[in-house]
């Protein structure tokens, strides 16, 4: 079932999927309507009203106009799409191109336009077999098709007008991250978290290596648990989603807790781990909210570049990042116990354990804001907004993560002391940090 869902997600993100799917339906529709017009096969259980029928002489120019209209709309749509993609690349970041193309509305519009043209051409091709005075429904169906196409065309234009706005782009990225963060938080609330110290003895086991070069991606936790139970092992995944790994990178360890595995069993275990397909060539936002963070950071850095010089967009990015990190500040670092059997000595069953590394909040915080601090340190308002972001992030933070936030604030102060800031500007910055400490005491 998980593989089917993964395949479905992969298909719907491809540009060719909806055009191909809709084209298949349009070809079938064309053959059904034409066969009904020819009287060879009757598909409709009712008689089509004569007002909806046209003659061949009238139907041919109608279908020709419809085919030409769909070609024009398709050309305009693809041209507009290329302009949007160019703008996304130059003004935002190349990594957000996939977010635009992955929109179902955009891909469905492509499908309707291409399939509409295909229907009109097939209908025209078969009209040559009809007598001049024969009444047909092909042209009427074509008119309905072009009306549907116009609806999708206006829908496409409206979506493009919305998607090119910075606020809409950032909001969509935040919503994508929220979905992954919500799933992750629900997972952590149900599972126990172990510290690194508690896992020192557990990490001393047989190594598991990546099967190929790429990015550590979606984890099928249920299959991991099944493997651990089948082989009676303690299984530890030591990489977090989104990390780049190579064939020689250790992504985990396992420890035999029952009878030692034979060479054949070890080979079978390796093969089953490879079937999990943990490593992908490209990063995706599924389970990998850090990738969304990276996209927002890149948009912010592009806004701070001398060529664009748009600090207000950078401020918006910082605000979005603070809201996303606030949701994660309530989760401590460590290892998540995905499965842990109790010691059932009476049943003589050896307990198994499956652990995966949790997100390290400190690393995520530094990776998110370090570059923005570096490129925005000359703008006092940008730095002030970053410190305000620390206040937002700290609203839900645990004691450990609060210390991480304060350490990062002190890092910012040290960076700014090396810059040519006026005493008044430094006082404003220090006020924000004092406000953060004050709010923490009141909670």
Cβ atoms of 431 and 387 closer than 8 Å: no
What's the whole-model pTM score? 0.81
For the chain, count helices (H), then strands (E): 15, 11
Q: What pLDDT was estimated at residue 435?
A: 78
- The tokens for 331 are 């989760």
Pairing assessment for the beta strands 353-357 and 233-237 based on DSSP bridges:
parallel
Question: What are residue 279's DSSP bridge partners?
Answer: 216
Taking residues 206-222, report their average pLDDT.
84
Tell me what the pLDDT averaged over the chain comes to. 82
Q: How far apart are CA 279 and CA 252, in angstroms?
A: 13
Sequence-separated (6 or more) residues with CB below 8 Å from residue 206 = 253, 254, 255, 256, 266
- 153 pLDDT band, cuts 50/70/90, is very high
Cβ atoms of 64 and 124 closer than 8 Å: yes
b vs e for 241-259, b when ≥16 Cβ sit within 10 Å of the residue's Cβ? bbbebeeeeebbbbebeee
Closest of 342, 340, 334, 333 to residue 354, by C-alpha:
340
Q: How far apart are CA 71 and CA 84, in angstroms?
A: 20
194-208, 300-314, 426-440: range with highest mean pLDDT? 300-314
Taking residues 299-321, report their average pLDDT.
90
Q: What pLDDT was estimated at residue 191?
A: 76
pLDDT at 34 over 70: yes
Q: What pLDDT was estimated at residue 348?
A: 37
Coil/strand/helix, residue 353: strand
Residue 388, class by beta-carbon neighbours within 10 Å (0-12 exposed, 13-18 middle, 19+ buried)? middle
Question: What are residue 339's DSSP bridge partners?
Answer: 354
Question: What are φ and ψ of residue 310, in 5° steps?
Answer: -125, 75
Cβ atoms of 202 and 255 closer than 8 Å: yes
List, in sequence order, the alpha helices (H) in 235-310.
Answer: 263-275, 289-304
Q: How far apart are CA 399 and CA 329, in angstroms?
A: 10
Taking residues 224-242, report their average pLDDT.
83
**Structure-token match 């593989």, residue found:** 3
pLDDT for 356-414, tens place per residue?
778 888 999 999 999 999 888 888 888 889 999 999 998 888 888 989 998 998 888 88
Residue predicted with more confidence, 4 or 219: 219
- Which range (1-10, 221-230, 236-245, 287-296) has the least confidence? 1-10
Question: What are residue 353's DSSP bridge partners?
Answer: 234, 340
Query: How far is residue 31 CA from its own chain's centroid?
Result: 38
């Amino acid at each position: 079932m998980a593989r089917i869902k993964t395949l479905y997600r992969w298909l719907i993100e491809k540009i060719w999927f909806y055009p191909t799917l809709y084209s298949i339906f349009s070809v079938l529709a064309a053959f059904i309507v034409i066969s009904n017009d020819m009287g060879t096969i009757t598909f409709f259980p009712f008689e089509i009203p004569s007002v909806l029928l046209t003659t061949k002489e009238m139907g041919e120019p109608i279908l020709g106009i419809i085919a030409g209209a769909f070609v024009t709309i398709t050309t305009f749509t693809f041209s507009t799409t290329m302009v949007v993609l160019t703008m996304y690349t130059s003004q935002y970041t190349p990594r957000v191109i996939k977010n635009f193309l992955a929109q179902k509305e955009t891909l469905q519009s492509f499908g309707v336009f291409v399939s509409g043209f295909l229907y009109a051409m097939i209908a025209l091709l078969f009209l040559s077999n009809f007598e001049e005075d024969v009444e047909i429904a092909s042209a009427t169906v074509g008119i309905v098709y072009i009306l549907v196409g116009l609806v999708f065309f206006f829908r496409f234009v409206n979506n493009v007008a919305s998607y090119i706005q910075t606020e809409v782009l950032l909001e969509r990225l935040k919503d994508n991250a929220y979905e992954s963060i919500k799933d992750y938080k629900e997972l952590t609330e149900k599972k126990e978290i172990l510290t690194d110290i508690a896992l020192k003895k557990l990490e001393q086991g047989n190594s598991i290596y990546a099967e190929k070069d790429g990015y550590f991606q979606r984890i099928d936790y249920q299959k991991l648990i099944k493997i651990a139970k089948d082989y009676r092992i303690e299984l530890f995944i030591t990489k977090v989603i989104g990390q780049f790994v190579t064939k020689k990178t250790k992504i985990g360890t396992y420890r035999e807790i029952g009878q030692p595995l034979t060479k054949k069993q070890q080979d079978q275990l390796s093969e089953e781990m490879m079937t999990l397909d943990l490593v992908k060539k490209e990063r995706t936002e599924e389970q990998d909210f850090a990738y969304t963070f990276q996209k927002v950071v890149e948009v912010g850095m592009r806004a701070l570049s001398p060529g664009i010089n748009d600090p207000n967009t950078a401020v918006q990015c910082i605000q979005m990042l603070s809201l996303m990190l606030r949701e994660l500040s309530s989760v401590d670092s460590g290892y998540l116990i995905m499965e842990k059997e109790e010691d059932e000595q009476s049943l003589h069953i050896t307990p198994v354990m499956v652990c995966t590394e949790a997100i390290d909040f400190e690393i995520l915080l530094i990776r998110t804001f370090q570059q923005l601090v570096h490129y925005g340190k000359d703008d006092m308002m940008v730095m002030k907004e970053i410190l305000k972001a620390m206040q937002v992030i700290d609203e839900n933070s645990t004691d450990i993560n609060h210390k991480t936030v304060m350490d990062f604030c002190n890092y910012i102060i040290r960076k700014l002391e090396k810059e040519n800031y006026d005493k008044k500007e430094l006082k404003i910055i220090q006020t924000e940090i004092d406000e953060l400490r004050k709010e923490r005491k009141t909670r």
